[in-house]
Structure 1
Amino acid sequence: MDFLDYDTRLGGYAVIVRDDHVLLALWSEPEVPLWTLPGGGIDLHEALEDGVVREVFEETGYDVELGALVGVETILVAPERRLERAGDRWQKNVRVVFAATVTGGELTHEVDGSTSEARWVPLADLPGLHRDSMVAKFVG
């Protein structure tokens, strides 16, 4: 059973800042793709922290070490706003965000996933980006 099998989706994400840049992933599932924090759905068999580390690696190619809890964002999703093409059926999206540090790996893009690109974005460029609410709330 994975996170798509229940109506509350637990997601784990990471804020990774280095040299005045933040690591973001381009979420390609919405009609208009948007930049988001690397991370995603936590499977039922996973500890939250393990799922965040896995998701960051899948979307960016980086191994990370998690730090402090940055915050939690809860989103209630109305039926007409669910992304049916992605198989979403959850009503509540609980997103837990941690600070993280890159410990290894090399920047790569996810293949056949929900994101299509990973990029280090200058913090100064964030206001001009089409970005997910987590980026604005937890980074700037």
Structure 2
Amino acid sequence: MEFTDYDTRLAAYAVVVDDDERVLLALWNEAEEGRWALPGGGVDFEETAEAGAVREVREETGYDVVLDRLLGVDSHVIPVERRLSDTDRPMKAVRVVYAATVVGGELTHEVDGTTDEARWFPLAEVADLPRVGIVDIALALWRQR
């Protein structure tokens, strides 16, 4: 399939782990049941992936972060029947993952967005949470750093 035959979505995410070995997650509300995700999401047309990651963390959690380093880039295909929008085109999701550190702000919940709540979780508890796949992918990249 040629690149003109499918949609592409660029997204950027941040793995934020504090000194107490807790990871910052946001409750994604676009599925039937909420699932925990990394703070992050779609990169706007005029912004860089780095700027998108920083903006998304602020919007979804209330925290200001600095990006420490690029952890990796992941991509996967979403077939037409799994798309959230009404379309006849599959989508390739390209996800850029950064390690980040909180430098300011205050934990708050996003209003009228794609997440409802932000919360710190001990890393050891993440495996028991209902979560989206990028959480496991990103934490594996973070552990390899």
TM-score normalized with structure 1 length: 0.89
| Alpha-carbon separation, structure 2, partners of 1:139 and 1:80 | 28
Q: Over aligned residues, Cα RMSD in angstroms?
A: 1.7
Q: Per-residue CA shift, 1:39-87, capped at 9, x if unaligned?
A: 01001100111111001000000000001111111010101000127x9
The answer on whether the counterparts of 2:64 and 2:105 sit within 8 Å (CA) in structure 1 is: yes
1:33 paired residue number? 34
2:133 paired residue number? 133
| Alpha-carbon separation, structure 2, partners of 1:108 and 1:77 | 31
CA shift, 1:90, in A, is 6.0
Matched position secondary structure for 1:111: coil
The answer on whether the counterparts of 1:13 and 1:98 sit within 8 Å (CA) in structure 2 is: yes
Q: How many residues were matched structurally?
A: 133
| Alpha-carbon separation, structure 2, partners of 1:114 and 1:54 | 14
CA shift, 1:137, in A, is 1.6
Q: After superposition, where does 1:1-140 map in structure 2 within 5 Å?
A: 7-18=7-18, 19-84=20-85, 91-139=91-139
CA shift, 1:110, in A, is 0.4
Question: 1:79–1:36: structure 2 CA closer, same or farther, 3 Å change rule?
Answer: same
| Alpha-carbon separation, structure 2, partners of 1:118 and 1:103 | 17
| Alpha-carbon separation, structure 2, partners of 1:24 and 1:15 | 9
Which protein has the larger Cα radius of gyration, Structure 1 or Structure 2? Answer: 2
| Alpha-carbon separation, structure 2, partners of 1:104 and 1:59 | 14
* Identity %, equivalent residues: 59
Name stretches of at least 5 consecutive residues in structure 2 with no aligned partner.
Answer: 1-5, 141-145
Matched position secondary structure for 2:45: coil
Ranges of 4+ aligned residues in structure 1 off by more than 6 Å: none
